[in-house]
Amino acid sequence: MRTTNYYETQKLRGELQSKSTDELRMIYAEEYHKKQRTKAFLISAEILRERGVSESPPKLESEKQTIQVSPQRVLVTDIKMPFGSMVGFMVKWTLASIPAMLILLVFGFVAFVVLSMLGGIFSGFFGK
């Protein structure tokens, strides 16, 4: 294995420093996927850290695939939840149902009024 000296490392660092962040990420990704920790890999990781960019390697073009997801049925058989959390959830659920009940009450009242008016109109047509 060939060792690089300080000057070669600084020269490589200068070359990598002049590259854009996207180019650096691709260099990092290529070296990462080769499973090698070369100087280019280490220096590009260092520069990316200095620029405040995540080091997680982007997928290479050859690895990018479209995944087709088909809908699947799910059956939930159990939920593990602490008792205190469940009580809190049920209290919130109860409080959230109050506005829904008020809305249903308004709809029910409107339906009652409309049906009563229709009943009054029809009772005039058919007697009594």
For residue 115, give Cα distances in angstroms to 110, 118, 121, 125. Answer: 9, 5, 10, 15
Per-residue confidence (pLDDT) for residue 1, from 0 to 100: 44
> In this prediction, what percent of the chain has a pLDDT beyond 70?
73
What pTM does this model have? 0.34
Q: In sequence order, what are the residues at sequence separation of 6 or more whose Cβ sits closer than 8 angstroms to the Cβ of residue 58?
A: 25, 26, 29
- pLDDT recorded at residue 12: 74
Structure token digits, residue 120: 């009054």
pLDDT of residue 108: 96
Band (14; pLDDT cuts 50, 70, 90): confident
Q: For residue range 25-36, list pLDDT tens digits in order.
A: 777 777 776 766
- 92 burial (CB, 10 Å; 0-12 / 13-18 / 19+) is exposed
What span, in angstroms and rounded, lies between the C-alpha atoms of 44 and 58?
A: 13
Cα–Cα distances in angstroms (integers) from residue 19 to residues 10, 12, 16, 31, in the given order: 15, 11, 5, 16
Q: Report pLDDT digits (tens) over 52-99.
A: 766 555 555 555 556 666 788 888 888 888 999 999 999 999 999 999
